[in-house]
Chain A
Amino acid sequence: MAYEGKDKVLEDVTAKAYEFGFTTDIESDKAPPGLSEEIIRFISEKKNEPEWLLKWRLDAFEVWKKMEEPEWPHLSYTKPDYQGISYYSAPKQKKELASLDEVDPELLRTMEKLGISIEEQKRLSGVAVDFVMDSVSVATSFKAKLGELGIVFCSLSEAVQEHPDLVKKYLGSIVPTKDNYFAALNSAVFTDGSFCYIPKGVRCPMELSTYFRINESGTGQFERTLLIADKGSYVSYLEGCTAPQRDENQLHAAVVELIALDEAEIKYSTVQNWYPGDAEGKGGVYNFVTKRGICHERSKISWTQVETGSAVTWKYPSCILKGDHSIGEFYSVAVTNNAQQADTGTKMIHLGRNTRSTIISKGISSGRSQNSYRGLVQIMPSAENARNFSQCDSLLMTDTSGAHTFPYIEVKNPSAKVEHEATTSKIGEDQIFYCLQRGIDAEQAISLIVNGYAKDVLNQLPMEFAVEARKLLAVSLEGSVG
């Protein structure tokens, strides 16, 4: 019988190799491997940092040395050799390719499938671009416009030089150096990242993305992002891109801190598509990220993430709802395939009165992958009339994949209302057959069903990002590319 259906497609999906294997040789100013006080001094000096920042890094290093790598996540991986990593590498000018003809055709095909424009394809794959290229002029006028409004958007290194007071006040204020093993490591050795400040009452007129940051130097494996929305301001920030990203660094330990002052709103959207490794998970990126935001009075932070890459993902974008009437939201789609492992979720810490939080998590597991949701909803005694709604759904694509849910709920104020819903379902054969009978092929059927399942989250993404993310989900679960 020729109805090959789900099993065939899923087999293909499982067996599918990552075709996006494209790396650019980067000549770099590299520090010798190993982590020591000397290396940290070297990094700080290279970046011409003030004394207080060097001291902060060194303190973090002392803390880190006393900490143990966490064992509690539902993950199994070989722990990185922290003395085998080089902690500083300043990328020089990337080797540019003359035209798209020199780029791996598979990579181009993938980008085309994702609907990425030719210019953008060139930029992403390191092809020399014409100076008058759209994005450059867009970026320039974009910078000018932001400048008029008093918005600061630059690399963190630049901010350390130009806006030291803001950096000093807020760096490590939400994710302290001693917060966790990876955050401590990041604090000691972070190389660069983004800095953003939105002044009082300003509504940022466009989505901010790292794409527009003029400083194009690689963010490196220890990225640090600091975003401050002053009173009554609004910003939507996009991190990552749907295009596949390969990196020579196996370990990524980023820290993101968000500060929403009174009545401010931050919408932070991420698409993460790091190299997941081969079918055995070998060579894939380990992504250990600490993301946290604080909400002051009547402010709101909304995290939306689409996670499809990395061999190992450890990530819990969280909100501290400190101010009264503040709101935290977390919307997540995490796809794991082959041997990928993800342990992701959120923490909502309710401190203020009438604080509200919403958690929508959609896990999709295929191949032999393991996908865990881990979340904490904590209602502190001060949080009168706090509300939380959590919905954690898991969709299994194969019999060999796993979905796990670890919801922790701590309620210390009797006026709280906390709702938790969780479902686990296997992709329905009846649903697939229904699609097939209407003339929709098996791959497209799976794509439709999966996108439908993740719709509540995808709808939270900014429009253009959402279109790309939908395609990314389809490509991530596609059986026979090319």
Chain B
Amino acid sequence: MLKINQLKASVEDTPILKGLDLHIGPGEVHAIMGPNGSGKSTLASVLAGREEYEISGGTVDFDGQDLLDMDATERARSGLFLAFQYPVEIPGVSNINFMRAALNGKREHAGLDPIAGKDFLNLVKEKSSLVELDGKLRDRSVNEGFSGGEKKRNEIFQMAMLEPKLAVLDETDSGLDIDALRIVANGVNSMRSPDRSFLVITHYQRLLDYIVPDFVHVLVDGKIVRTGGKELALELEERGYDWIKEGVVS
């Protein structure tokens, strides 16, 4: 699904990713953990096609296509979804209209006609129940006046609507209380399937109790320095990152 080889990226001449390798197979859930400033969110932004980042080396293959050659819209329409760490507010644009534009963009890309009004509303109903997002939030402006938890649930709702091949969750657990965390995790788990992959970026092991990963990677200073199973997350929780960092240095 996703093959990242020796990816190097910098922002304003400061190198952040320094030769990152990561392979994600179909249906797999990978978690990336790492200390602050290790490049986790940069990885998410680079994959989504954010312009501020300069790619200075490496390749990214997404489902057989050269990801780095596509613009952000194409990547999204080809099935890459990013759940933002800080979802953006768009005043005056209803969540529903926003989703319809997004879905129809994707359908256009696939050579399909715009979705019929009734089908769209049914889909909204079905998917919003997945994350317990009530009607009021669907009709309000995109993320405007949403609480932190509501914003994150809205991200998962959008993901469910767009049915991506690869979903990148950028610190989706940050700022969530335990109930919201459970709702978000349930939403994600219900979407797990043999042909959909997840890349879960997180700071804390807590999220991985709910979304159980197949692999856990540790990102330090722009490189993946250790890979293991879900038990690695528990070890990190217990021992912190220092022992790994020291291991890297020595």
Contacts and interface: CB of A to CB of B under 8 A. Distances in A.
A448 B101 contact: yes
B64 interface: no
B117 interface: no
Given A2-B70, A437-B72, A448 B97 contact: yes
B73 A448 contact: no
Contacts of A2: 49, 69-71, 74
A462 interface: no
B93 A449 contact: yes
Contacts of A3: 49-51, 71-73
Interface centre among B68, B77, B88, B141 (most CB of A within 10 A): B88
B87 interface: yes
Given A2-B70, A436-B76, A439-B105, A428 B55 contact: no
Nearest to A458: B92
A3 B89 CA distance: 21
Contact of A452 (B74, B91, B162): B91
Contacts, number: 97
B219 to A, nearest CB: 21
B92 A440 contact: no
B106 interface: yes
Interface string B19-63: 000000000000000000000000000001111000100000000
Given A442-B73, A448-B98, A1 B105 contact: no
Interface string A443-466: 010001101111110000000000
A424 to B, nearest CB: 15
B92 A434 contact: no
Main secondary structure of the interface of A (DSSP, over half): helix
B216 interface: no
A95 B220 CA distance: 75
B105 A448 contact: no
Interface in B67-121: 68-77, 81-82, 84, 87-93, 97-99, 101-103, 105-106, 109
A interface bracket (residues with beta carbon within 8 Å of B): 20 to 34
A440 B88 contact: no
Contacts of B99: 438
19 contacts: A1-B51, A2-B71, A3-B51, A3-B73, A431-B90, A437-B49, A437-B75, A437-B81, A437-B84, A438-B76, A439-B102, A439-B105, A439-B106, A439-B162, A441-B105, A442-B73, A448-B97, A451-B93, A452-B93
B233 to A, nearest CB: 27
A453 B91 contact: yes
A303 B162 CA distance: 41
Nearest to A428: B88
Contacts of A444: 101, 105
Contacts of B49: 1-3, 436-437
Contacts of B141: 452
A454 B91 CA distance: 10
Contacts of A433: 48, 50-51, 72, 88
